[in-house]
Amino acid sequence: MVLSAGLTAVTDALNAAALSTYDKVIVAYSGGKDSNACVLHLLECGVPREKIELWHHEIDGREGSTLMDWPVTPAYCRAFAAAVGVPIYFSWLEGGFEREMTKCDERKAPTHWENLDGTIGTAGGKRGKLSTRWKFPQKSADLSVRWCSSYLKIDVCATALRNQPRFRGIKTLMVTGERAQESAGRAKYKKFEPDKADNRNAKRDSSRRHVDHWRPIHSWLEEEVWAIHQRWGVNPHPAYHAGFARTSCQFCIFANPNQWASARAVSPERFQTVVNYEEFFGVTIDRKGRSLRMIADAGTPYTLDPEALAACRDHDYHGTIFPETEWALPLGAFGESDGPV
């Protein structure tokens, strides 16, 4: 199937002169289709590979087992970065989703990130208020209760930026892949603004950190996202081949009944662990009286390709980012994409 490239790919771009003023361009990279589109768009805009870094925030951390995310995601991210010729660095909140969710009279955990020399940087975890969660993030636009986005992604990224001296005294562009088409809330996001980690007005020159935030594909339609995949011949994340329209977390709190039913079919044991937590907390994710089990039972699993399912469950990625076969839309393209509102 041939997709047409939309005009927004051109009209939403910072001009080449503006892009050339940045010393570093960081892509908050999830491994999903919109993250891929951001990276490919930067390359099409002429941004040198040596300026680009991909940053992946590991939702489940590195201290325990995978609970919420796709097991294959970190490996896919590494494979994509290697294939396009740019470095990738990982960061995470210690203990990830599970520790934060089960926090009981504890401080926020430390944040960790990979440095250029292979060492691990750490910040936080020693100060702050003691608090207790004992519930899943809530389905809300308010990030104080939908803490999975803020604590496990946004804050992790900002902390890693603020605590690396290499970003002082230079100009950095942070790139994320939110699109207006995804939700009414995301439609209100600014395409360009100072980043949360920006500190350009610090009194001391040695402390200044100029960080802008750009959402280059904010006006793109899904057709344009898949069109850039087709132009480059990119093989997307295995979850798309398994019928899912979004990667995000495998067990995303915003998932609809069909998505929960499908996620259960992919990983029944992990689904049961999530259900056990919900029952233990006595607070449902949906907050409308429906348990996860009820929601999944009301859905119909996608027609799941066995090969794609095996790839999703694997902690290694055995595919090829640029296969020598004719490009085709994955099964999940233009499907149900319930997500953050």
Strand order through the sheet with 171-175: 120-123, 111-114, 88-93, 52-57, 24-28, 171-175, 210-214, 192-194
pLDDT at residue 339, as a whole number: 54
| Sign of CA pseudo-dihedral 77, 148, 246, 244 | positive
Distances 261 to 20, 290, 296, 299 between C-alpha atoms, Å: 46, 14, 4, 5
pLDDT at residue 9, as a whole number: 45
pLDDT at residue 65, as a whole number: 83
pLDDT at residue 304, as a whole number: 78
Distance, CA of 130 to CA of 120 (rounded, Å): 25
Nearest to 277 by CA among 62, 95, 138, 98: 98
pLDDT at residue 200, as a whole number: 94
pTM: 0.93
Please give the sequence-ordered ranges of beta strands (E in DSSP) within the chain, or none if there are none.
Answer: 24-28, 52-57, 88-93, 111-114, 120-123, 171-175, 192-194, 210-214
Nearest to 156 by CA among 95, 92, 209: 92
64, two tokens: 């325990």
What phi, psi does 210 have (nearest 5°)? -90, 110
pLDDT at residue 11, as a whole number: 45
What phi, psi does 237 have (nearest 5°)? -50, 140
Nearest to 6 by CA among 179, 191, 249, 127: 179
Q: What is the mean pLDDT of each run of 10 residues along the chain (341 residues)?
A: 49 76 98 98 96 98 92 98 98 96 94 97 92 90 87 96 96 97 90 95 87 97 98 97 92 94 95 95 86 96 87 96 96 77 48
Q: Please give the domain boundaries of the chain with CATH numbers for all domains.
A: 8-240 (3.40.50.620)
Round the CA-based radius of gyration of the chain to a whole number and report it.
20
249, two tokens: 């977390």
Pairing mode, strands 88-93 and 111-114: antiparallel
